[in-house]
Amino acid sequence: MPLTPVSELITTARPGGLGAFNVITLEHAEAIAAAAESTKRPVVLQLSENTVAYHGSIAPIALACLRIAADSTADIAVHLDHATSFDLIRAAVDLGIRSIMYDGSTLDYTANVAATAEITRWCHDHDVFVEAELGEVGGKDGAHTPGVRTDPDAAVEFVATTGVDALAVAVGSSHAMHTRTAELDNDLIAGLAAKVPVPLVLHGSSGVPDEGLRAAVEHGMTKINIATRLNVLATEAIRTTLAGSPDISDPRKYLTPARAAVQSEVEYLLRLLDAQSAPARPSA
């Protein structure tokens, strides 16, 4: 089916949260789309600037994701994540991507506001949904160092000045966590949701335990970004397969269980984020 705008996916996901999962390989995209079809939940396929660099350019992996989304029976959007380059944003939009995250978080506040506002104006002229970040979301020596959080009044000002459609906020999570021990500030999430007039986005969700993700959605978090968790499970599946059959040389033999592991986890997480579902985690 045609790509679904992120704004519509957010509405479709309510009262639950919208699952947004990062794609590195074709297998990621296939697994995420299959999980969305199985659970009948909307989903976002996300491509980070780092993934684009890994592939050498945006076109091959973006076009694959766009085609997977178009061929799927699920409601799917394709999103460019953590883009710092205006040129990359233009390239993504030229290919057909209609949702981007501009990451000006390493800039000082004034420069971040100016750059975000400029990019947002251009994107809106091209019917593109814009997510931005106020401060740095953890794992980058930024706003998720202990005690650093997004201020609700600053967030309101940032959104009003830049015109963005969604805002990634610092509430206790951190990028690239391999343990699920992050403790979110649910009072802050509720306070942000009450004041900020656009959907809130949780980055670094791989480090948040199941009950923390559910609570975040209940307190007002809208879009839940997950990347590292899928990579950990895919890699574990590959290691297990190769340990059991060390003579395997055909990548399909070990990428198939990796893809299955990603699909299973995404299915579980999509059900977890559904406010009307109470899934049981599958046994290992």
Interatomic CA distance for residues 94 and 162, integer angstroms: 23
Residue 279 in any domain: the answer is no
Q: Give the pLDDT score at 196.
A: 96
Per cent of the chain over pLDDT 90 is 74
pTM across the whole model: 0.91
Would you place residue 143 in the very low, low, confident or very high pLDDT band (cuts 50, 70, 90)?
very low
Overall average pLDDT of the 230-246 stretch: 97
The yes-or-no verdict on residue 184 having pLDDT over 80 is no
Residue 65 in any domain: the answer is yes
- Residue-wise pLDDT for 108-130, tens only, equals 889 999 999 999 999 999 999 99
- Residue-wise pLDDT for 80-109, tens only, equals 999 999 999 999 999 999 999 999 888 888
Q: Give the pLDDT score at 141.
A: 47
Contact between residue 92 and residue 80 where contact means Cβ atoms under 8 Å apart? yes
Structural domain total, the chain: 1
81 in active site = yes
Q: Between residues 28 and 207, which one has the greater pLDDT?
A: 28
Would you place residue 136 in the very low, low, confident or very high pLDDT band (cuts 50, 70, 90)?
low
Contact between residue 202 and residue 221 where contact means Cβ atoms under 8 Å apart? yes
Residue-range definition of the domain harbouring residue 83: 6-273
Query: Choosing from 81, 103, 165, 274, which is the catalytic residue?
Result: 81
Overall average pLDDT of the 197-204 stretch: 92
Residue 131 in any domain: the answer is yes
User: 């968790």: which residue's tokens?
Assistant: 229
- Residue 57: is it exposed, middle or buried by C-beta count within 10 angstroms (0-12/13-18/19+)? exposed
User: 């704004």: which residue's tokens?
Assistant: 7
List, in sequence order, every residue forming a beta bridge with 19; answer none if it has no partner: 43, 224
Q: Give the pLDDT score at 176.
A: 45
Overall average pLDDT of the 51-79 stretch: 97
Q: Between residues 218 and 281, which one has the greater pLDDT?
A: 218
In the predicted model, what is the mean pLDDT of the chain? 89
The yes-or-no verdict on residue 178 having pLDDT over 70 is no
Residue 283 in any domain: the answer is no
Count of residues in the chain: 284
Domain of 192, CATH number, reads 3.20.20.70
Distances from the Cα of 230 to the Cα of 9, 33, 65, 176, 210, angstroms: 21, 14, 17, 11, 14
Q: Give the pLDDT score at 170.
A: 87
Residue 249 in any domain: the answer is yes
Q: Give the pLDDT score at 106.
A: 81
Would you place residue 243 in the very low, low, confident or very high pLDDT band (cuts 50, 70, 90)?
very high
Q: Give the pLDDT score at 278.
A: 64
- Could you tell me which of 46, 33, 17, 35 has the C-alpha nearest to residue 264? 35
Residue 259 one-letter amino acid: R
- Residue-wise pLDDT for 30-50, tens only, equals 999 999 999 999 999 999 999
